[in-house]
């Protein structure tokens, strides 16, 4: 009777958690294996997958048996390396050029996706979308030029907006979308020189909630991930050119290291899986505790 009273007071969420904690390791392993088997043969579209977070995400999905159609802008060698690495896992990766500055380039990529679905996979739809491609120009609010502002708008917001819109007919019902935002949009991470960049990423955070609301009737989940400082080629490969900026960033990070693409890839891959099928409309910071 006492145990029953305690359980009733815990609430259903805690009861579920208690049940999960009592699960046998073998049951958990079996569940993971079933999830991986269910994913095999699915298809994801990733913009900007020739390096950094997009590359890390593609490899995480490939490890689950998920094929990838994706884009590169200038780094074709990186895209071809990804094709090779994913091929070792028995997964097909199909790269296409894309410049989010150009609506014509966006339209061509959308047509390439539709044609590849039919020719390479005998399908009309794909399952997952990651709006990842990005760029950054550092300038204070007072010094930001209209040309730089407009390019960041096209690449970081407008391009992704109309990319996702144009791909809606190809996204399968019950699928999932992850938009890449930034911790620069958060009150704890305001830094001089990123007002325009953060404004565009903030727009993506807001768009994520509206997409989640409007696509819910189709069972499509939409979330965003906000990376903290991560070792990518952003800012013209800034971390490689200016390694002296890394120690101060690490000092402000609770886990005392710079983020790596695989850290973000794991989270994005998880959000694109059915195992997080009850999560939508969320913006999840993945920063190792940056400035917490």
Q: At residue 212, what are phi and psi to the nearest 5 degrees?
A: -60, -40
Q: Phi-psi bin for 48: left (phi > 0), alpha (psi -120 to 50), beta?
A: left
| Known active-site residue 197 | yes
Structure tokens at 102: 């150009």
For residues 253 and 208, the answer to whether their CB atoms sit within 8 Å is no
Secondary element (H or E) of residue 126: strand 126-131
Under DSSP, the state recorded for 117 is: H
Measure the CA–CA gap between 159 and 35, rounded to whole angstroms: 33
Measure the CA–CA gap between 68 and 87, rounded to whole angstroms: 11
Which one of 55, 128, 197, 290 is the catalytic residue?
Answer: 197
Helices (H), the chain: 2-10, 12-21, 25-39, 52-63, 76-88, 103-121, 146-153, 159-167, 195-215, 234-241, 246-251, 261-271
Residues labelled as active-site residues: 197
């Amino acid at each position: 009777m006492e145990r029953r009273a305690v359980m009733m007071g815990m609430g259903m969420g805690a009861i579920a958690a208690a049940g999960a904690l009592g699960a046998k390791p073998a049951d958990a392993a079996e569940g993971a294996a079933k999830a991986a088997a269910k994913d095999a043969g699915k298809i994801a579209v990733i913009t900007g997958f020739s390096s950094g977070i997009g590359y890390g995400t593609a490899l995480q999905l490939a490890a689950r048996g998920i094929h990838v159609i994706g884009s590169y802008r200038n780094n074709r060698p990186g895209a071809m390396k990804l094709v090779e690495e994913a091929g070792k896992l028995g997964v097909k990766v199909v790269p296409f050029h894309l410049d989010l500055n150009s609506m014509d380039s966006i339209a061509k990529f959308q047509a390439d996706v539709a044609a590849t679905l039919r020719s390479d996979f005998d399908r009309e739809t794909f399952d997952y979308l990651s709006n990842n491609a990005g760029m950054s120009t550092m300038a204070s609010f007072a010094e930001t030029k209209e040309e730089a502002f407009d390019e960041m708008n096209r690449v970081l917001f407008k391009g992704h907006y109309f990319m996702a819109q144009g791909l809606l007919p190809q996204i399968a019902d019950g699928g999932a979308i992850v938009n890449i935002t930034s911790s620069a949009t958060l009150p704890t991470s305001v830094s001089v020189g990123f007002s325009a960049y953060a404004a565009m990423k903030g727009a993506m955070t807001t768009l994520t909630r509206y997409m989640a609301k409007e696509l819910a009737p189709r069972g499509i989940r939409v979330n965003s991930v906000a990376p903290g400082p991560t070792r990518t080629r952003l800012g013209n490969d800034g971390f490689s050119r200016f390694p002296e900026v890394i120690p101060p960033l690490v000092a402000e990070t609770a886990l005392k290291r710079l983020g790596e693409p695989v850290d973000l890839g794991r989270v994005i891959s998880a959000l694109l899986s059915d195992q997080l099928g009850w999560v939508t409309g969320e913006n999840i910071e993945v920063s190792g505790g940056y400035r917490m």
